[in-house]
Amino acid sequence: MGNLQAMEMASLANQDAGLRWHLQSNHFPPVPLDMLQPCKDAIEAADDGDWDREITLPISVEWRGHATAPAWAVIEGHHLDAWLGRDDLEDAYDDDDYP
């Protein structure tokens, strides 16, 4: 059910409103809205085909001990597939590249 709701929210003209709803209502516990911009940056990177682009995280957030995370990790961790222009996330990255 959450994926169907995410797809509906992704189709909204106001991307920010849909992403806010998704982060706050489609996750438990809710994802802090500090992650809104990193999620938008990750979506942009993925749509550009740059799945490994490093996305700057909010000060209070780390990914595997780093202040940045690859776009694929932000997308996967926040279930952002519905916001992508394509659905080949599984083929886009190799998790073995990261410790």
Decide: helix, strand or coil at residue 69: strand
Q: CA-to-CA distance for 91 and 51, rounded, in angstroms? A: 10
**Structural domain containing residue 64:** 2-97
Q: Are 46 and 75 in contact (CB under 8 A)?
A: yes
pLDDT value at residue 55: 98
Q: 20 or 94, which is more confident?
A: 20
pLDDT tens by residue, 41-85: 999 999 999 999 999 999 989 999 999 999 999 999 999 988 887
Number of domains within the chain: 1
Whose tokens are 């809205």? That residue is 33
pLDDT tens by residue, 14-36: 678 889 988 998 899 999 999 99
**Which amino acid type is present at position 51?**
W
Please check the confidence at residue 2 and state whether its pLDDT lies above 80. Answer: no
- Longest CA pairwise span in the chain (Å): 38
Q: CA-to-CA distance for 29 and 84, rounded, in angstroms? A: 23
